[in-house]
């Protein structure tokens, strides 16, 4: 009887010890797996943060102007009709942080001019688009600062959605889109692309971006 009890006792101890070691093994394995997953998630988070930060560093970051900046513009461009609702502070390589200023000129005819201003001084005037050279400017409807999917430093783009008429007496507005791209000496008009958008009567930034992304592959 004693031998039987000892055998049962030994068998019971073996089962208990087996369960203990097996449970410990499972806990250790689970802990290692959890640490591995946590490490992968952490690496993914770091990678995502790096991508986000890199993207943010490239952004032009337009912001609305202040009253003091309005006075700067008025001093740099006296007696000009500033289109203030489309005037922004931007970060550009040409001027670091400066003011993007659209102006409605009236002599000898209505036309749109674009300027960069900093420290009360006019730094740069954008070239005119050839497609509107003989047309009459009516309205600037939208400005969009884009990151074009080009290699190199010339990836910054500026899209204008405007309205023109073929003559000062015409009441028929024509939607005109103008796309600028950074050049070695400032900015240039992408005339062919602008003409494509204008011929297709693009009236919003969203319509233009859809063409850039899906047809022209200008956007990532």
Tens place of pLDDT for every residue, the chain, 220 residues?
A: 434 344 433 444 444 444 444 444 434 434 333 433 333 333 333 333 322 222 334 457 899 999 999 999 999 999 999 999 999 999 988 788 999 999 999 887 899 999 999 999 999 999 999 999 888 999 999 999 988 766 666 678 899 999 999 877 777 899 999 999 988 888 999 999 999 999 999 999 999 999 988 888 777 6
**How confident is the model at residue 150, as a pLDDT?**
60
Q: Strands (DSSP E) along 56-173, which ranges?
A: 63-64, 81-82, 88-92, 96-105, 111-118, 121-125, 136-147, 156-165
* Residues 133 and 188 grouped into a single domain: yes
* Residues 143 and 190 grouped into a single domain: yes
69, two tokens? 């900046």
**Looking at 33, 58, 83, which one is the last position of a domain?**
58
**Looking at 35, 58, 81, which one is the last position of a domain?**
58
Question: How many whole angstroms separate alpha carbon 54 and alpha carbon 51?
Answer: 5
Q: Specify whether the CB–CB gap between 135 and 166 falls below 8 A.
A: yes
* Residues 108 and 173 grouped into a single domain: yes
Q: Which of 97, 113, 34, 15 is nearest to 62 (CA)?
A: 97
**How confident is the model at residue 3, as a pLDDT?**
41
* Residues 80 and 125 grouped into a single domain: yes
**Looking at 17, 38, 58, which one is the last position of a domain?**
58
* Residues 168 and 154 grouped into a single domain: yes
Question: How many whole angstroms separate alpha carbon 195 and alpha carbon 69?
Answer: 34
* Residues 92 and 165 grouped into a single domain: yes
* Residues 86 and 180 grouped into a single domain: yes
Neighbours of 115 (CB within 10 A): 21
* Residues 169 and 141 grouped into a single domain: yes
**How confident is the model at residue 220, as a pLDDT?**
60
Structural domain harbouring 49 = 1-58
**Number of folded domains that form the chain:** 2
* Residues 10 and 119 grouped into a single domain: no
**How confident is the model at residue 207, as a pLDDT?**
95
Nearest 5 degrees, angle CA 106-CA 110-CA 115?
80
* Residues 78 and 148 grouped into a single domain: yes
Q: In angstroms, what CA-CA distances link 33 with 27, 42, 83, 120, 175?
A: 10, 14, 60, 61, 60
Cis amide prior to 171 (ω within 30 degrees): no
* Residues 172 and 191 grouped into a single domain: yes
* Residues 102 and 129 grouped into a single domain: yes
């Amino acid at each position: 009887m004693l031998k039987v009890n000892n055998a049962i006792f030994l068998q019971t101890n073996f089962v208990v010890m087996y369960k203990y070691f097996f449970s410990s093994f499972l806990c250790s394995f689970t802990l290692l797996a959890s640490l591995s997953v946590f490490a992968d998630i952490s690496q993914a988070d770091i990678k995502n943060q790096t991508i986000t930060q890199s993207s943010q560093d490239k952004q032009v970051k337009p912001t609305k102007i202040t009253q003091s900046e309005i006075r700067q513009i008025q001093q740099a461009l006296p007696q000009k009709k500033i289109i203030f609702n489309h005037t922004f502070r931007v970060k550009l390589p040409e001027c670091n942080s400066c003011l993007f200023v659209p102006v409605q000129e009236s002599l000898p005819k209505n036309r749109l001019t674009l300027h960069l201003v900093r420290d009360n001084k006019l730094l740069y005037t954008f070239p005119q688009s050839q497609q509107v050279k003989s047309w009459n400017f009516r309205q600037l409807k939208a400005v969009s600062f884009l990151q074009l999917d080009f290699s190199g430093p010339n990836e910054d783009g500026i899209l204008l959605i405007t309205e023109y008429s073929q003559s000062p007496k015409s009441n028929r507005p024509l939607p005109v889109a103008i796309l600028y791209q950074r050049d070695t000496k400032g900015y240039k008009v992408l005339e062919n692309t602008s003409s494509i958008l204008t011929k297709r009567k693009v009236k919003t930034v969203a319509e233009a971006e859809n063409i850039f992304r899906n047809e022209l592959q200008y956007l990532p």
